[in-house]
Copies of this chain bind each other. A is one copy, B any other.
Amino acid sequence: MPITIEDLASKLGVSPSTVSKALNDRADVSLRTKERVRKTVRELGYQPSAAARNLRRQRTDKIGLVVNYPIHMVRDFLTELIPGIAARAEQSEYHLILYTAMAGNAERVKSLCRSREVDGIIIAWPPRASETVALSQLMTQEDMPHVFLPRRVPHEGISFVAADHIGGAKALTRHLICLGHRRIGFERLPEVYETDFDRHAGYCQALAEAGIAYQPDLVVAADSSAVDYATRSFRLFSALPEPPTAVLFFTDPVAIRALSLARQAGLRVPQDLSIAGYDGILSSAVTEPALTTVWQSAAEMGRLAVESLLQLISGEGNGPIQHTLPVKLFARGSTGAKQGG
């Protein structure tokens, strides 16, 4: 029922090809004709059929965001990421299609590639390194530009946008060291993602630079399968013969939980125990005391991911694009100078 290019053409007394060429501003249409066409297009409100264009031009001006992770675990990040991606994409007349139900399923990614319903793909949360490499190869074979996010991928041939987690953990650790802390607890994940790896490295570096010996018992592996693993981690720290005076928790929610647990245990924060989180979720600003944390701009990462992807799509840059963004330290009330000793 909508108006087609044919309708337009017959109304103008020219051929469809001429209309098409006029609208795409080709050289072999006279200025006069172009004007006539554009005028009528405005009057009739003609809009070309997306499907027909896509089919003929073999591109869709759309990019896909594959969320490769349980959404409820990364909500805060997505909240920033998705608008960031959409806004940047729309600047370049691209649009964003969301795929949230294909977590870890390479087969579905392959189908997505072959259906050609997007020109490029952003994968949020790459799986473990080996799977990620396989996934990337698959997409490369299908000739589908792609960028991973927000974890770096330890492979030189793969494009990603990541936050500088070494720098983030280092900044946090340094901050605590400056406050006089020497026994700094560090919660890490048992899973072997680069994120964990990097943060641990940052922690180690900061200690080393300050000449503080690394104490393995101060590093606790979280058991993310446990229902309330925040409590578990917190207890492991406080059960140590000589408990830390400051603890870096792996995420803000865990740290926020730790604030309550500390209060329940009769510990004052930060006088008796300094607590820091990671990620800079919104809630971290309104706890009592406010949480010291490190923040990565998800919107900025999204923006950069789109820009990288557009480059890959246009085939400008040669080879993979890898970005590591600085993070920002928010030193707030939950960390303070070490008391006594």
Question: Which residues of A are in contact with B by a Cβ distance under 8 Å?
Answer: 1-3, 45-52, 54-55, 58, 60, 62, 71-72, 75-76, 78-80, 82-83, 86-87, 90-91, 95-101, 110-111, 114-117, 142-143, 256, 281-283, 285-288
Q: Is the CB of B286 within 8 A of A256?
A: yes
- Docked Cα-Cα span, A60 to B143, in Å, equals 23
Q: Are B79 and A116 in contact (CB under 8 A)?
A: no
9 smallest A-B Cβ distances: which pairs?
A47-B114, A288-B288, A51-B54, A50-B117, A51-B55, A79-B79, A90-B101, A50-B115, A283-B283
- From residue A249, how far is it (CB to closest CB) to chain B in Å? 15
A49 lies within 8 A of B55 (CB): yes
10 contacts between A and B (CB under 8 A): A48-B115, A50-B54, A51-B116, A54-B54, A87-B101, A90-B101, A95-B99, A96-B97, A256-B286, A283-B283
Q: Are B47 and A143 in contact (CB under 8 A)?
A: no
B-chain residues with CB within 8 Å of residue A47 when the two chains form the complex: 110-111, 114-115
> Which chain B residues lie closer than 8 Å to A49 at the CB level?
55, 115-116
Instruction: State the CA gap A278–B338 with chains docked (Å).
Output: 39
The answer to whether A62 and B97 touch (CB under 8 A), given A79-B75, A82-B82, A83-B75, is yes
Which residue of the partner chain B has the closest CB to A107? B45
Given the known inter-chain contacts A114-B3, A114-B45, please indicate yes or no for A100 contacting B78, CB distance below 8 A.
no
A98, B100: Cβ atoms under 8 Å? no
B99 to A97, Cβ gap below 8 A? Answer: no
Known A-B contacts: A51-B54, A54-B55. Give 16 more (CB < 8 A): A45-B114, A49-B116, A50-B116, A51-B51, A51-B60, A75-B80, A76-B79, A78-B82, A78-B83, A86-B100, A95-B98, A96-B97, A97-B97, A283-B283, A283-B286, A286-B286
Q: Are A90 and B100 in contact (CB under 8 A)?
A: yes
Least distance between A240 CB and chain B CB atoms (Å): 27
A79 to chain B, nearest CB (A): 4
- Most chain B CB neighbours (cut-off 10 Å) among A45, A76, A80, A83: A83
Q: Report the minimal beta-carbon distance from A59 to chain B, rounded to whole angstroms.
A: 9
Residues of chain B within 8 A of A281, CB atoms compared: 282
**How far does the alpha carbon of A142 sit from the alpha carbon of B83 in the complex, in Å?**
28
